[in-house]
Amino acid sequence: MTNPRQLAFIALRDVHKGAYADVALDRVLQKVNLADSDRRLVTELVYGSVRRQRTLDTLIDQLAQKKSYQQPKDLRTILHLGLYQLRYQERIPASAAVNTTVQLAKENGFSGLTGFVNGLLRQYLRKAGEQGGKGAEEKDSLLLCQSPASSPQSLVPNPQSPVPHFDPLQLPENPVGRLGILHSFPDWIIQVWLEQLDLAQTEQLCEWMNQSPTIDLRINPLRTSIEEVEAALQSAGVLVRRVRHLPQALRLIGSAGSIQKLPGFREGWWTVQDSSAQLVSHLLDPQPGEMVIDACAAPGGKTTHIAELMADKGKIWAGDRTPSRLHKLQENSQRLNLQSIQIYTGDSRHFNQFQNTADRVLLDAPCSGLGTMHRHADARWRQTPESVRELSVLQKELLTHTSTFVKSGGVLVYATCTLHPAENEQVISAFLAESPDWEIESPNGVELPYSAHSTPQGWFKVWPHRQDMDGFFMVRLRKTNDSE
């Protein structure tokens, strides 16, 4: 089977049964030999339909007599695919989107409902006018940005996207529901962002999170130079650009094909790591000869970066409770030819042999991942306010225990890839209230990119729509005296 839309349907059917989107997609793609363009189409249809699920469900609610949750599950999935192409895929002709979706229904047990599928999609097009509904976000974004709470500079719509005569998607007046339906996020996530940002910036963040993710590389300076990697990639026809302020970062521009086939991968010249994650190890600022503990290390991107910054001199203990994920760390450290990393398996909350031994500790804590939802299409539907509360308890326990690993005068960096204050600021504030021998330390002497974006409290928050990289929180703590 090589029909991209049928493959996307099979993957989405698995996602709606509980599979992770990336796992379901990989499972489907591994069974077939597709041209690169078809692989990209399958990937776009799967991730896009998952990301835009709430918007697509709302369209079904408004266009059909039965609500989306009342539709047969597979039929709902087929309608998602059709509506996604009509609304968000500029390069797919409307007639092709309709006809292939009707064919999907016919081939997957809904021959008797092909008229319904055809009618619903054509009703969408009819309501949208000749523009086909694409670009509706820009129209509604402009209306939202003209509210009194918005900043003046946000009043410019995206000129690249056409605006339909009329958007078939009807939106509520309430800003939370309006943004949630338009950009396809649960209301509670929109609320969390609106408590930290104004309306216009919240919308910019929503738009950023719905983009396809970029791929950043981190050059291994122990094996090569950034100039050498740039030249090798450009010779292979791969476009890259440097990331401002990050000495080891290169961002791939456009499609690069299989990562493992790019020049320098096997030689250990570089590894894949988002720019935000690279910031964390710079904030830790490990020095050659030190003893460093990475308490939640797998799959090892930050561990290997720490080793590179230490010139692979000293000792790094890398721990995680998931052996399979630690195997990935071992593979990467071998490929990068790093010798200073030692691995321990288990929950760092239960390790006592490291007390008062480390010069520096990195706690890259398990989190809700709300800063990386563009990479994990289904994360917005998997996390809940309750799961965030449970994670914040785990984070506090990890921070309390791993802080005992640090020598007097040593450093601990706490980091997450979430933008939820309950997992970030509130965790740090609670820890400091109970730990008089710890204080926040501004990274004086450490050349940290975007230090202008640190807060008065001393922690750093990377907002994706401002810095164009994954959302991250990080703070550097100094142990002033031995614990009592």
For residue 117, how far is the Cα from the chain centroid? 33
What is the SS3 assignment for 383?
A: coil
Instruction: With residue 137 as reference, give the H or E element that holds it.
Output: helix 136-145
Residues ≥6 apart with Cβ < 8 Å to 164: 128, 129, 131, 132, 133, 134, 135, 136, 139
Which one is catalytic: 206, 296, 367, 417?
A: 417
**Tokens matching residue 337:** 């030819």
Domains of the chain, first to last: 4-131 (1.10.940.10), 136-209 (no CATH), 216-272 (3.30.70.1170), 275-479 (3.40.50.150)
pLDDT tens for 232-269 read 999 999 999 999 889 999 999 977 778 888 999 999 99
Phi, psi of 217 (to 5 degrees): -110, 150
User: Tokens 């090798």 sit at which residue?
Assistant: 232
* Burial class for 258, CB neighbours closer than 10 Å (0-12, 13-18, 19+): exposed
Q: What are the pLDDT tens digits along the chain (484 aa)?
A: 689 999 999 999 999 999 999 999 999 999 998 888 899 999 999 999 999 999 999 999 999 999 999 999 999 999 999 999 999 998 999 999 999 999 999 999 999 999 999 999 999 999 988 444 454 444 344 334 333 333 322 223 333 344 345 789 999 999 999 999 999 999 999 999 999 999 999 999 999 999 989 999 999 999 999 999 999 999 999 999 999 889 999 999 977 778 888 999 999 999 999 999 999 999 999 999 999 999 999 899 999 999 999 999 999 999 998 888 899 999 999 999 999 999 998 888 988 889 999 999 999 999 999 999 999 989 999 999 999 999 999 999 999 999 999 999 999 999 999 999 999 999 999 999 999 999 998 765 555 555 545 666 788 999 999 999 999 999 999 999 754 4
> Do 307 and 329 form a contact (C-beta atoms < 8 A)?
no
145 is catalytic: no
User: Considering the entire predicted model, what is its pTM?
Assistant: 0.89
Helix, strand, coil share of the chain (percent; to 5): 50, 15, 40
> Do 49 and 56 form a contact (C-beta atoms < 8 A)?
yes
3-state secondary structure 298-314: CCCHHHHHHHHHCCCCC
Sort strands 406-416 and 315-320 into parallel, antiparallel or unpaired.
unpaired
Distance CA 340, CA 85 (A): 49
pLDDT the model gives residue 130: 47
**How crowded is residue 238: how many other Cβ atoms within 10 Å of its Cβ?**
18
Distance CA 302, CA 299 (A): 9
For residue 272, how far is the Cα from the chain centroid? 14
pLDDT the model gives residue 160: 36
DSSP string covering 312-362: T-SEEEEEES-HHHHHHHHHHHHHTT--SEEEEES-GGG--TTTT-EEEEE
Instruction: With residue 251 as reference, give the H or E element that holds it.
Output: strand 249-253
The radius of gyration computed from the CA coordinates of the chain, to the nearest angstrom, equals 24
**Tokens matching residue 284:** 């830790």
Distance CA 292, CA 62 (A): 56
CA dihedral of 31, 34, 40, 43, whole degrees rounded to 10: -20
Pick from 312, 301, 296: nearest CA to 274: 301
pLDDT the model gives residue 454: 62
**How crowded is residue 207: how many other Cβ atoms within 10 Å of its Cβ?**
16
Peptide bond into 263 cis (omega under 30): no
pLDDT the model gives residue 456: 64
Phi, psi of 36 (to 5 degrees): -55, -40
Instruction: With residue 439 as reference, give the H or E element that holds it.
Output: strand 438-440
Distance CA 484, CA 482 (A): 6
**Tokens matching residue 285:** 């600022």
pLDDT the model gives residue 165: 53
Average pLDDT across the chain, whole number: 89
* Burial class for 464, CB neighbours closer than 10 Å (0-12, 13-18, 19+): buried
**Tokens matching residue 163:** 């605006």
Distance CA 297, CA 330 (A): 11
pLDDT the model gives residue 282: 93
**Tokens matching residue 462:** 């990377």
Residues ≥6 apart with Cβ < 8 Å to 133: 86, 87, 124, 125, 127, 164, 167, 168, 169
DSSP string covering 146-213: TSTTS-GGG----TTS---SS-S----SSHHHHHHHHHT--HHHHHHHHTTS-HHHHHHHHHHHTSPP
